Structure 1
Amino acid sequence: MHNKTSYLIIRLALGLSMFGHGLVRMPKLQEFSEGLVTSFENSMLPELLTVPFSYVLPIAELIFGLGVLLGLFTRISAIAIGIVLLSLVFGSTLVENWGAITAQFIHIGFVAYIIHHVKDNSYAIDNVIHKN
């Protein structure tokens, strides 16, 4: 029982964080993109890669954050968030934003917990879908 409750709290925390990141960026997507491109203009990453990423990032945060939040395709959503976070860690190193990496690592720890303990994912839409 305690494992399932702990899992739910961690799943909700990660889901809310990622969903919230995407949600607040969607109405100002172009402004967010321009800001991200500007912050990477002196990095070795070409604008050709930065621009598409800056538009995909909030959409990925929103969709996969919602998946984790609802417990819908939880494992797949968590893996996708892990990939997003790894790309953010890489990007942070390219612009030497060492402070951001701490928060990204905390999120990655939550992702690892969710994936590793998916058997404790009791309060989730996944269980309604996979009921036999």
Structure 2
Amino acid sequence: MRYWVQYHNFEKLGQLPGDGCGISTDKQEVLDTVGDTIFLIVGISENPRQYLLWEQFVCNEVLDDCPKPWRFAALGEGWFLVQRRGREPLLNMQPGFKEYLEYTGRFARGCHEVTDHPFLETLLQLSEKCKPRPKKPV
């Protein structure tokens, strides 16, 4: 299994990611992600920009006929991370994030693989920490 990151710029796109786990991109690499884990990071506000780990999913379907500007999509099963004050999955203060941000060119690389990057461990840990808890039966 490989691991990937897609970035979503709230100000540029004018909305938060929609329902269902998935990403849209213009990067052809996404066509080879079935069975892989994809993280979505959302950037919100301008000064300072807040980077939130938004969702994690395992890709089970890719599309190559999406409307412009996105040509491709990856969809799958996973979870949206709990966005609760004091527990939000904020990346800005995580160890190694500044180096990771520089590595990605401030996310200019678009959808990219992080399987061998040291920051992957932080993404995995934060995703587990902020994973929604199952509802208790009534």
Compare the two structures and name the one with the higher helix fraction: 1
- TM-score class, shorter-chain normalisation, is under 0.3
Which of 1 and 2 has higher RCO (CA within 8 Å, sep 6+)? 1
The alignment's TM-score, normalised by the length of structure 2, stands at 0.26
Higher normalized strand content (fraction of residues) = 2
Please give the TM-score of this superposition, normalised by the length of structure 1.
0.27
